Amino acid sequence: MEIVPKPPRRIPTFERILFFLSLFLFLFTIFSFIFFFFSVNKLNSKKVELEKKISELETSEIKRMKEELSQMEDRFLEIENLLNSHVFSSHFFPFLESQILKNVILTSLNLNVSGKQAKVSGIAENFVALSKQYFLFKQSPKIEKVQITSVSITPEGKIGFEISFSFKDEVIK
């Protein structure tokens, strides 16, 4: 018996096309996976780097803003302290007006706000009015020390006087 080789089977064109198409798709998928894998890693490293830069910029910006805010707060505290320690000498006049009797006329005032002292000169109708004025000053809770420094009789027969006194802070605050 004789062995005759069969002619090789010819692969149909459709199968060939499918084979090469499948092979192409398989290789394309593998190369795409490799490409995207490295691209994602590269993009992730860039993302981390950019986020780090952003956080550094935000941190420096926030630090700068905090420093400015702290400086403004210090300025406001200084202004508040200045306003709280500000002396209103104009508050002295209503106080003095409330302490003067009707039959006493003031002719001069020497006010030392920093030393919290005042010296008033005036004319009283008589010695009784002067003594009442003196005791009114003496009994006032806002006046600390009262002293009559001079007394004289005017040509009209009235009593000229000078009274010095020191007052509390609440009079001018």
3-state helix, strand, coil in the chain (%, to 5): 60, 20, 20
Q: Taking a C-beta distance cutoff of 8 angstroms, is the pair 165, 121 a contact?
A: no
Whether the full predicted model's pTM is greater than 0.85, yes or no, is no
| Confidence (pLDDT) at 87 | 66
The token pair that represents 81 in the structure block: 């302290």
| Confidence (pLDDT) at 170 | 83
pLDDT of residue 110 exceeding 80, the answer is yes
Please state the rounded mean pLDDT for residues 95-117: 91
Per residue in 122-170, pLDDT (tens digit) is 999 999 999 999 999 999 999 999 999 999 999 999 999 999 999 988 8
| Confidence (pLDDT) at 10 | 85
